[in-house]
Amino acid sequence: MTNYIKEREFQNKIIDRENIEKIVALACRLGDITKEELLSTSRTRLIGDVRMCVGNLLRRVFGLTTIETGKYLNRDHSTILHYEREHASLLMLNYYKKIYNKCFKAAESLSEMVEEIEYNQDDVIKELKKENNMLYRKVEDLKMKISKYKKLQVRLQSLHDLL
């Protein structure tokens, strides 16, 4: 993978992590709980519901796997699957629906901002061509060095044979 692509993936991960933290903070504020409570082992109804909401947001909006979501929330992946099954029935509760919808809208607006930051396809192609040309020059330089090395090796061998 090229340096340019690795750099873009790294930037996207940082942006996602920052956006996730913003949405989690919003969900905690709307649910009137702390992040520590969200990540705790508490089974209190409100904390559990906010946790389910965040779990569903991480899966649906940010595309995290059940394992990644579980690690974030200090839960097993099967718990995240349970959250997904319960999501539709929880949406009937006004407070859950309010938290989920506000966080979902906030996440959508954050992702729109990220899309504006991302390069368009032409910029990506230009950067990859630049990197490709640079690598081509390095390869040519290395070929010349190998050729010189082989010539030097032949000379050394002939000197060795003379001795």
The pLDDT tens digits of the residues spanning 87-132 come to: 999 999 999 999 999 999 998 888 666 555 555 677 777 878 888 8
The pLDDT tens digits of the residues spanning 36-91 come to: 999 999 999 999 999 999 999 999 888 889 999 999 999 999 999 999 999 999 99
Angstrom distance (rounded) from CA 114 to CA 119: 10
Contact 81, 66 (CB under 8 A): yes
> Which amino acid appears at position 2 of this protein?
T
Residues written for the chain: 163
Model pLDDT, residue 139:
93
Helical segments of 40-120, H only: 45-60, 66-73, 77-90, 94-117
The separation between the first and the last C-alpha atoms of the chain, rounded to the nearest angstrom, is 49
Residue range 3-117 forms a domain whose CATH class is mainly alpha
Nearby residues of 41 by Cβ (< 8 Å), 6 or more positions away: 74
